[in-house]
């Protein structure tokens, strides 16, 4: 009779960025180890929240399959003497395969040993397999805790291992398995008995833990869009941000917050970056694409006292935007061209001088590439001006505080300084592409500036 297996590793909060890879590893390791053990199953699913990793195997066979194997031995001329008696070579080969020498088979001039291994009960296989899963997982960073030698992504606090209703004994870092898990840190019960693997997902849901990450992601998406529609607004969508939020919460509840209109005088990037990269908020825009003084975020909990949570998020964002406003106003006291002297104070690379030295190298490279690439005279002028200003935004308070804005604020400040749109765009495009799948430069000057900047990084460094 087929059985179901549940294995849950309960831990302190796991970094959201690690979760997709860990769940993928857990599933693939389980598939590989079950196949290696010749233990059939119907399906495997992995679930994850900030506090738990879970594996559910359905339709697990009672025992592993019987294994029949055929082992090739030495040639028959070596295995038997001229009178047909088995030699030491044949006797040793048979003993090694656990069979009687009389059961050896001769075929094609060689001897063969045919062996059969009886299936092993699933309980025994699983008891050995589950600890292997824990030890086989790899993480970008692991932790020791207490005085233990065990390592894991975060300290392990509980283990659940069930084969149908039976607890499978597993121990890791002094924690022993049981049928007891934990609910939401604040809303659920501290101890929850899991009757069997089939009831796991619903039992946790009853305790405010939406363990299925796909369901959780869809709930978050739906909640965000409902609120945005109520506000007659569109979301500045980001799939990576959604994925991160998905692994930061166990019971998602979306909410909308706001900030003062006065902050909208800042460049959009100076508002959006603190929202998305620092606070994990989704900005909202109107139907014309103009930024609104509102944001969406997701709480890890119910809607109880949601207005208090909203006020707290607004207060934190207001402090971030105050910082941005201060840095912006301070930066505007000096134009980009007047910031060139500041480049001498920023080391590019030991042995390769400062950013002023790098800028000089880029200017020389730009002249060569402009000619080689056949740049038009106007584009060449744009390239030289953009190269002079390319690194100057790295001296600004805004980029120092929000490093993600390098190039972005360079473009904004260049436009405010009265530089041409072509120059401003090239300053932004110098860093493109920033990652695999990113947009590429489109202007002629931007393309060349992007290339020479990367060539200088590679050639000068190596």
8-state DSSP, 130? H
Q: Report the first-to-last Cα separation within the chain, whole angstroms.
A: 62
Residue 430 DSSP one-character state: T
CA 269 to centroid of chain Cα atoms: 24
Q: Which pLDDT score is estimated for 238?
A: 94
Distances (CA, A) of 375 to 361, 396, 425, 428: 19, 31, 17, 19
Residue 70: the pLDDT is 83
Q: What is the pLDDT of residues 99-120, one digit of tens each?
A: 888 888 888 889 888 878 777 8
Q: Which residues of the chain have pLDDT under 50?
A: none
pLDDT score at 224: 98
Distance of alpha carbon 340 from alpha carbon 335, whole angstroms: 10
Nearest to 259 by CA among 325, 327, 331, 304: 325
For the entire predicted model, the pTM comes to 0.85
> Which residues make Cβ contacts (< 8 Å) with residue 242, sequence separation at least 6?
217, 220, 221
Length of the chain: 462
Confidence at residue 90, expressed as pLDDT on a 0 to 100 scale = 86
pLDDT of residue 67: 75
- Record the tokens describing residue 57, joined without a space: 């195997």
Residue in this structure with the two tokens 């790295």, named with its chain if needed: 394
Of 130, 423, 112, 410, nearest in space to 270 by CA: 410
What is the rounded CA–CA span in Å between residue 25 and residue 132? 13
Give the position of tokens 């993600």: 404
Supply the pLDDT for residue 345.
95
Place of tokens 């592993």: 64
237-253 tens-digit pLDDT: 999 999 999 999 999 99
> How far is the C-alpha of 80 from the C-alpha of 90, rounded, in Å?
7
> What does 340-407 look like in DSSP terms, one character per residue?
GGGGGGSB-STTS-BHHHHHHHHHHHHHHHHHHTT--HHHHHHHHHHHHHTTGGGGSHHHHH-GGGTT
What's residue 55's pLDDT? 98
> And the tokens for 236?
């500045």
């Amino acid at each position: 009779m087929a059985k179901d297996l549940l294995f849950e590793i309960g831990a302190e909060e796991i970094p959201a960025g690690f979760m997709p890879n860990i769940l993928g590893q857990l599933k693939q390791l389980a598939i590989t180890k079950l196949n290696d053990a010749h233990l059939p199953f119907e399906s495997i699913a992995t679930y994850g929240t900030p506090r738990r990793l879970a594996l559910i195997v359905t339709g697990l066979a009672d025992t592993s399959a019987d294994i029949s194997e055929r082992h090739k031995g030495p040639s028959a001329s070596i295995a038997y003497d001229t009178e047909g008696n088995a030699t030491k070579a044949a006797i040793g080969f048979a003993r090694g395969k656990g069979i009687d020498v009389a059961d050896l088979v001769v075929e094609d001039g060689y001897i063969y040993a045919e062996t059969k291994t009886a299936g092993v009960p699933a309980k025994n296989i699983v008891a050995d397999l589950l600890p292997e899963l824990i030890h086989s997982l790899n993480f970008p960073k692991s932790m020791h805790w207490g005085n233990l030698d065990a390592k894991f992504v975060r300290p392990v606090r509980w283990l659940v291992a069930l084969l149908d209703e039976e607890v499978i004994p597993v121990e890791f870092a002094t924690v022993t398995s049981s049928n007891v898990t934990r609910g939401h840190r604040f809303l659920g019960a501290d101890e929850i008995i899991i009757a069997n693997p089939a009831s796991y997902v619903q039992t946790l849901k009853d305790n405010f833990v939406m363990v299925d990450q796909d369901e959780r992601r869809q709930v978050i998406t739906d909640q965000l869009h409902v609120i945005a529609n109520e506000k007659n607004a569109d979301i500045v969508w980001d799939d990576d941000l959604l994925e991160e939020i998905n692994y930061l919460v166990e019971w998602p509840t979306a909410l909308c917050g706001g900030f003062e209109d006065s902050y909208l005088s800042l460049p959009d990037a100076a508002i959006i970056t603190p929202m998305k990269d620092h606070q994990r908020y989704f900005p909202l825009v109107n139907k014309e694409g103009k930024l609104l003084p509102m944001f969406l975020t997701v709480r890890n909990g119910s809607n109880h006292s949601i207005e208090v949570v909203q006020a707290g998020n607004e207060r934190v964002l207001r402090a971030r935007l105050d910082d941005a406003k201060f840095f912006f106003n301070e930066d505007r006291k000096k134009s980009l061209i007047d910031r060139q002297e500041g480049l001498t104070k920023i080391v590019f690379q030991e042995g390769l001088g400062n950013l002023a030295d790098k800028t000089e190298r880029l200017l020389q490279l730009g002249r060569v590439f402009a000619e080689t690439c056949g740049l038009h005279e106007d584009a060449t002028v744009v390239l030289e001006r953009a190269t002079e200003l390319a690194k100057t935004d790295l001296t600004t308070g805004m980029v120092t505080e929000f490093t993600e804005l390098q190039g972005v604020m360079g473009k904004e400040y260049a436009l405010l300084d009265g530089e041409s749109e072509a120059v401003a765009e090239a300053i932004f495009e110098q860093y493109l592409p920033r990652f695999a799948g990113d947009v590429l430069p489109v202007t002629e000057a931007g393309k060349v500036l992007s290339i020479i900047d990367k060539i200088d990084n590679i050639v000068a460094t190596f």
